[in-house]
Amino acid sequence: MIRDALRAIGQLGDPQFRSVVLLGIGLSVGLLVGFSALVLFGLQLLVGPEATLPWIGTVTWLDDLSFWAAIPVLVVLSVVLMVPVASAFTGLFLDRIAGAVETRHYPNAPPPRKQGMAEMIQDSAQFLGLVLGVNLLALIAYVVFAPLALFIFWGVNGFLLGREYAQMSAARHLPPEEALKFRKRHKGQIFGAGVLMVIPLTIPIVNLLVPVLGAATFTHLFHRLHRP
């Protein structure tokens, strides 16, 4: 798992991969801004024109939330919201990242099977719904076991994102039912790789790179574990 992650990081210097990384970061930022806007809009509906945010203080939505005030809000929200961002990322961009990894590291691998955009978006939407639903339920555990909240967050989302990234990486080359068998067969390593991905998701700024590196890591993991 760690070797897979290091190989993904090592490709950051590849000029061809770098352009994909920059596009991936741009997509991550766009998704983060979108999710943040939804959360802030929901807070405005719930608490009215003012709210007190951790580390930021009182925010008056119409006046104080200018461009510069929005930046620290976005940084704080990214600690939590990068998990659904990483989930939404897979259906939109995983194929491109995996293609760049396979071009460099697995040139003799069979070409990926043809997947329609509708199939990839549907799978990603299902996983995203699961991620959001489970995390809403996990809020109870975060409150009840507050000292362990961070570890619960890592464990829950490591399982969810590992499941998603492994399934969709495998589905590029295997029929869905075979991809499911692959995921179940290697669930221990997949969980470990998922946790390894989630931990840096809680580090602002660094987390913008994680969806890209996660997609690359799980591509390496699939090719390492899959035996035709």
pLDDT digits (tens, 9 = 90+) for 184-199: 999 999 999 999 999 9
75 pLDDT more than 70: no
Q: Which residue has the higher pLDDT, 205 or 73?
A: 205
pLDDT-based confidence at 66, cuts 50/70/90?
very low
Q: Which of 206, 210, 132 is nearest to 165 (CA)?
A: 210
6 versus 44: the higher-pLDDT residue is: 6
pLDDT more than 90, % of the chain: 32
Q: What percent of the chain has pLDDT over 70?
A: 82
Count other C-beta atoms under 10 Å from residue 79's C-beta. 14
pTM attached to this predicted model: 0.80
Taking only the tens place, the pLDDT of each residue in 105-125 is: 999 988 888 776 777 777 778
What's the average model confidence in pLDDT over 13-39? Answer: 79
Best CA proximity match to 214, nearest among 1, 5, 31: 5
pLDDT band at 44 (very low <50, low <70, confident <90, very high): low
The average pLDDT across 26-41 equals: 76
Distance CA 116, CA 154 (A): 32
Residue 95, pLDDT above cutoff 80: yes
On the question of pLDDT at 67 being above 50, the answer is no
Residues 80-98, mean pLDDT to the nearest whole number: 83
Predicted confidence (pLDDT) per residue in 138-176, tens digit: 888 888 888 898 899 999 999 999 999 999 999 999 998
User: In whole angstroms, what is the distance from residue 30 CA to residue 133 CA?
Assistant: 22
CA separation for the pair 47, 29 (Å, rounded): 26
Report whether pLDDT(87) > 50.
Answer: yes
Half-sphere exposure of 97 (CA within 13 A, CB side): 31
Is residue 21 over pLDDT 60? yes
Burial classification of residue 68, based on how many CB atoms lie within 10 Å of its CB (0-12 exposed, 13-18 middle, 19 or more buried):
exposed
Structure tokens at 47: 């608490």
